[in-house]
């Protein structure tokens, strides 16, 4: 709807009045008749504009800011995704060696002045101290406001907001980085439509997108095992030394009730018997999930293969009155020990359990992909005039190609051959760049990895659902 102009509304009023009183002669713009119509038309236009605004505010395609937030809140409970705070380090200094410890409290405020004269504030994230005899303390800090405005260049900090006795200056030798803007209206609309078009909150699409949006997760894959179980695979850049609370919170937020992110099922027990499965993982903690109500405390042990290929023992104690499906963490051989595979389980004989492997928290486990190294062995003959740096370009093409694989994606020999002869180009159709010049004959070409070899058209290297291919050694021998 588009609000009519005042002139249009005046004309409509005059036409309507002329129909009701045919003998009336329209007055000019100096008559009270016209002025009355003008006043009414102005009020009508205001009503039209308010109606227009009101309709926009309830239309998900047109609403903005807080109005859009209100529309999507029934589907996206967490609302608009907020940006990150820029973080960095502040150096507090004294002119002379401190005669006593100088405390710098957490939340100490400093500021910088932008080019337009605006002040932007930062604060220390933790407390610090310039120790007696020292002249400086470096303390972690962050911007007070979310967004890119906190991304400040080196030495942009001007001063403290409130003085601290003994401290004469503060600066940031390195830049503040990591500040990101809040989710835009367009991004929020897209996420809203994804949510209402998907059959449920726990769908693969929603969870994969949410995980892949994390800065430490370039790729995520969700596998459905049925019966309320899913597997969460994340290519997490920070590894498995610690559980990522960010990933756990993301799974919890985007997964519906009644669903378990179970990790890898390594073994099952049924009374006194046990069955060890063939599945293994990159590495993780061990968990027991009762398949029935555990009335009294139950204890059992198991052996597992650790990240170094050594056999280790873990012990599990299930508290009394533990309900079915409640995951309980095992006590690993050491705090930093991680399991790749369950080797054997010695059950107590009383209850039945699923033995799971994964990082995370009970019900919200995740695994990293297992990395499968692919080695390329080739023997070639060259023409009399090969292009400069041909061997290096072949190696670079194959390295880039092998580095672009997704979790669970198999390797086709025909693709290896294609990118042996052509540059891998992200911007080209099907990534096939220009032909490499100077290869007279490919005497032999093999791709080796995952216990398999592919050396002819039609052959491939198959991968498990949690494998991800990466480049290994590329050896090219030139025959004369």
Whether 322 shows a pLDDT value over 90: the answer reads: yes
pLDDT attached to residue 229: 92
Residues 236 and 252 in one domain: yes
Residues 342 and 409 in one domain: no
Residues 249 and 124 in one domain: no
* Residues 264, 240: Cα–Cα separation, whole Å: 15
14 within 8 A of 37, measured Cβ to Cβ: yes
What mean pLDDT do residues 105-116 have?
93
**What is the band of 134 on the pLDDT scale with cuts at 50, 70, 90?**
very high
pLDDT attached to residue 30: 67
Q: In sequence order, which residues have a C-beta less than 8 Å from that of residue 179 and are 6 or more positions away?
A: 83, 84, 85, 86, 143, 146, 147, 148, 149, 150, 151
Tokens of 163: 């003085």
* Residues 255, 262: Cα–Cα separation, whole Å: 12
What is the b/e burial string over 7-24, where b = at least 16 CB atoms within 10 angstroms of the residue's CB? eebbeebbeeeeeeeeee
Q: Look at 61 and 332; give whichever has higher pLDDT.
A: 332
Domain termination residue (choose one: 368, 389, 409): 368
Q: For the segment 258-289, what is each residue's pLDDT rounded down to a tens digit? A: 889 999 999 999 999 999 999 999 999 999 99
pLDDT attached to residue 56: 80
Residues 26 and 117 in one domain: no
**Domain annotation covers residue 273:** yes
pLDDT attached to residue 199: 55
**Domain annotation covers residue 79:** no
Q: For the segment 217-259, what is each residue's pLDDT rounded down to a tens digit? A: 999 999 999 888 999 999 999 999 999 999 999 999 888 778 8
* Residues 51, 41: Cα–Cα separation, whole Å: 15
**Domain annotation covers residue 183:** no
pLDDT attached to residue 139: 96
Q: For the segment 187-213, what is each residue's pLDDT rounded down to a tens digit? A: 889 888 877 766 555 567 788 888 998
Residues 304 and 433 in one domain: no
Residues 319 and 378 in one domain: no
**Domain annotation covers residue 112:** yes
**Domain annotation covers residue 129:** yes
What mean pLDDT do residues 440-449 have?
95
Whether 121 shows a pLDDT value over 60: the answer reads: yes
pLDDT attached to residue 24: 65
**What is the band of 325 on the pLDDT scale with cuts at 50, 70, 90?**
very high
pLDDT attached to residue 29: 66
For the chain, give the percent of residues with pLDDT over 90.
69
Residues 277 and 425 in one domain: no
Residues 364 and 215 in one domain: yes
Domain termination residue (choose one: 42, 57, 72): 57
Choice among 43-47, 168-172, 448-452 with the minimum mean pLDDT: 43-47
* Residues 233, 322: Cα–Cα separation, whole Å: 28
Report the SS3 class of residue 249. helix
Residues 378 and 362 in one domain: no
Say which DSSP state 203 is in: -
pLDDT attached to residue 17: 78
Query: Per the structure, how many domains does the chain have?
Result: 4
What helix, strand, coil percent values describe the chain, rounded to 5? 25, 35, 40
**Domain annotation covers residue 114:** yes
Q: In sequence order, which residues have a C-beta less than 8 Å from that of residue 207 and are 6 or more positions away?
A: 220, 222, 230, 232, 251, 254, 255
Average pLDDT, the chain: 91
Whether 386 shows a pLDDT value over 70: the answer reads: yes
Residues 400 and 431 in one domain: yes
Residues 401 and 265 in one domain: no
**Domain annotation covers residue 184:** no
**Domain annotation covers residue 384:** yes
90 within 8 A of 173, measured Cβ to Cβ: no
Range of the domain at 134: 87-171
Residues 312 and 222 in one domain: yes
């Amino acid at each position: 709807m588009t609000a009519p102009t005042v002139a249009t509304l005046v004309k409509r009023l005059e036409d309507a009045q002329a129909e009701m009183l045919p003998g009336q002669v329209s007055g000019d713009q100096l008559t009270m008749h016209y002025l009355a119509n003008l006043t009414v038309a102005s009020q009508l236009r205001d009503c039209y504009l308010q109606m227009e605004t009101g309709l926009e505010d309830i239309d998900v395609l047109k609403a903005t800011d807080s109005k859009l937030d209100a529309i999507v809140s029934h589907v996206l409970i967490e609302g608009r995704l907020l940006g990150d705070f820029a973080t960095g380090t502040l150096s507090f200094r004294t002119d002379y060696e401190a005669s006593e410890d100088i405390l710098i409290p957490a939340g100490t405020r400093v500021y910088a002045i932008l080019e337009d004269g605006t002040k932007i504030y930062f604060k220390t994230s933790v407390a610090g101290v310039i120790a007696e005899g020292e002249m400086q303390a470096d303390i972690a800090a962050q911007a007070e406001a979310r967004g890119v405005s906190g991304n400040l260049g080196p030495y942009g900090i001007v001063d403290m907001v409130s003085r601290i006795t003994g401290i004469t200056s503060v600066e940031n030798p390195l830049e503040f980085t990591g500040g990101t803007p809040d989710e835009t209206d367009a991004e929020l609309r897209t996420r809203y439509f994804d949510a209402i078009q998907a059959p449920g909150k726990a769908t693969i699409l929603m969870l994969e997108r949410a995980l892949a949006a994390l800065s430490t997760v370039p790729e995520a894959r969700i596998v459905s095992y049925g019966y309320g179980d899913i597997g969460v695979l994340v290519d997490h850049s920070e590894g498995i030394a610690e559980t990522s609370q960010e990933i756990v919170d993301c799974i919890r937020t985007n997964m519906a009730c009644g669903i378990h992110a179970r990790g890898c099922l390594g073994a099952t027990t049924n009374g006194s018997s046990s069955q060890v499965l063939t599945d293994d993982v990159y590495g993780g903690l061990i968990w027991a999930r009762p398949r029935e109500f555990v009335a009294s405390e139950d204890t059992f042990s198991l052996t597992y293969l650790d990240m170094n290929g050594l056999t280790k023992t873990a012990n599990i104690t299930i508290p009394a009155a533990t309900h079915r499906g409640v995951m309980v963490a095992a006590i690993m051989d050491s705090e930093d020990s991680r399991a790749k595979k369950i080797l054997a389980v010695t059950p107590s004989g009383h209850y039945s359990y699923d033995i799971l492997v994964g990082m995370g928290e009970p019900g919200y486990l995740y695994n990293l992909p297992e990395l499968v190294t692919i080695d390329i062995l080739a023997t070639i003959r060259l023409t009399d005039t090969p292009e400069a740096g041909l061997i290096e370009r072949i190696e670079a093409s194959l390295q880039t190609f092998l580095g672009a694989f997704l979790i669970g994606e198999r390797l086709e020999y025909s693709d290896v051959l294609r990118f042996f002869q052509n540059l891998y180009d992200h911007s080209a159709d099907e990534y096939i760049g220009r032909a490499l010049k100077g290869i007279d004959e490919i005497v032999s070409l093999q791709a080796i990895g995952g216990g398999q070899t592919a050396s002819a058209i039609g052959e491939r290297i198959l991968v498990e659902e949690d494998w991800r291919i990466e480049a290994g050694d590329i050896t090219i021998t030139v025959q004369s």
